[in-house]
Amino acid sequence: AKDPVRVLVTGAAGQIGYALVPMIARGVMLGPDQPVILHMLDIPPAAESLNGVKMELVDAAFPLLKGVVATTDVVEACTGVNIAVMVGGFPRKEGMERKDVMSKNVSIYKSQASALEKHAAANCKVLVVANPANTNALILKEYAPSIPEKNISALTRLDHNRALGQISERLNVQVSDVKNVIIWGNHSSTQYPDVNHATVNTPAGEKPVRELVSDDAWLNGEFISTVQQRGAAIIKARKLSSALSAASAACDHIRDWVLGTPQGTFVSMGVYSDGSYNVPAGLIYSFPVTTSNGEWKIVQGLSIDEFSRKKLDLTAEELSEEKTLAYSCLS
């Protein structure tokens, strides 16, 4: 039998946490033969609720779940973890300035970065979900200098999956037959969902999405805005933000990172930019990546037309501004 993998979920008493921890305990994230030990962190006001989640995990009698650590102590939470999914953060409340929210999250990510750096297992992989996800990941990278930048990522897989879903609905095909959409940039409304390299598996072979959806106006307009605004649409409908889809995307992100992407398939991950596609180096930016042996690689050589170029640059500008704002909060 395999040794258990320790998976940290911060903000585990929250909405996404509640959807995510049972998925992890069922093997959705790391596979049906991989035992796990869950580490759950939240803040003291949520301690009782966190304990309730722990009770339910016990009650679910998950065969793969070999232990649960539920704590409000950051050091205890981070100790020995192999994977860290950072869902906890400070939400923007009505009337709050962007800078105030940023400064709260900067201080959270700064201290959790130090705890991870000192106490996590060697080669721990980190996924930041909490918003502003890309910039929180950048702060974490900054304050955990001994964690290699290749081990720090931000979640844009939900946006990626939303794009797959929209194409599948439009063409009335199985979502599993659609692949290679790309989310470029920030997990925000400036993200660019790009179908220029996406394909659909049909009985007649693999066909470009651009060929099957002949309506360019839809692909260049409504498709993009629907994906960009999907989070807001969920809030409007549910009066709560996306949770099950976010949890599922976090599992997809880690599963592909650890177990590898299928041949010929790429996925979107927020990763540290090396200047590929003329995206400024030093931002956490969502790129198309393939993964193998636990490492991601940015897909190179995709053609970028003028329409796309503008959109890649626009979302990079927003990330540069967020970076400046975040650094101005560090004192």
For ligand NAX, give the closer residue by CB, 165 or 208. 165
Task: Please report whether residue 11 would count as binding ligand NAX according to CB under 6 A.
Answer: yes
Q: Does residue 187 carry a catalytic annotation?
A: yes
Can you read off the two tokens belonging to residue 190?
């400036």
Can you read off the two tokens belonging to residue 121?
């297992």
Sign of CA dihedral 301, 287, 307, 210: positive
Per-residue binding letters, 89-128, with ligand NAX (x by CB under 6 A) = xxx----------------x--------------------
Can you read off the two tokens belonging to residue 3?
């040794």
Q: 182 pairs with which residues across the strands?
A: 194
Task: Please report whether residue 133 would count as binding ligand NAX according to CB under 6 A.
Answer: yes
Cβ atoms 65, 25 nearer than 8 A: yes
Rounded least distance, CB 237 to ligand NAX, Å: 14
Rounded least distance, CB 72 to ligand NAX, Å: 8
The pairing of beta strand 205-208 with beta strand 199-202: antiparallel
Count of residues interacting with ligand NAX (CB under 6 A): 28
Stretch that binds ligand NAX, among 23-31, 60-68, 85-93, 190-198 (CB under 6 A): 85-93
Stretch that binds ligand NAX, among 60-68, 239-247, 273-281, 308-316 (CB under 6 A): 239-247
Task: Please report whether residue 35 would count as binding ligand NAX according to CB under 6 A.
Answer: no
Stretch that binds ligand NAX, among 41-49, 62-70, 140-148, 308-316 (CB under 6 A): 41-49
Task: Please report whether residue 9 would count as binding ligand NAX according to CB under 6 A.
Answer: no
Rounded Cα–Cα distance for residues 330 and 323 (Å): 11
Task: Please report whether residue 283 would count as binding ligand NAX according to CB under 6 A.
Answer: no
Selected binder of ligand NAX within 7, 138, 246, 284 (CB under 6 A)? 246
Rounded Cα–Cα distance for residues 65 and 60 (Å): 10
Which segments of the chain does DSSP mark as H helices, in order? 15-25, 47-60, 74-78, 98-119, 133-142, 157-171, 209-212, 216-217, 223-228, 230-238, 244-259, 306-329
Interface positions, 170-199, toward ligand NAX (CB under 6 A): 187
| 289 three-state secondary structure | strand
Rounded least distance, CB 216 to ligand NAX, Å: 28
Rounded least distance, CB 301 to ligand NAX, Å: 27
Catalytic site positions: 187
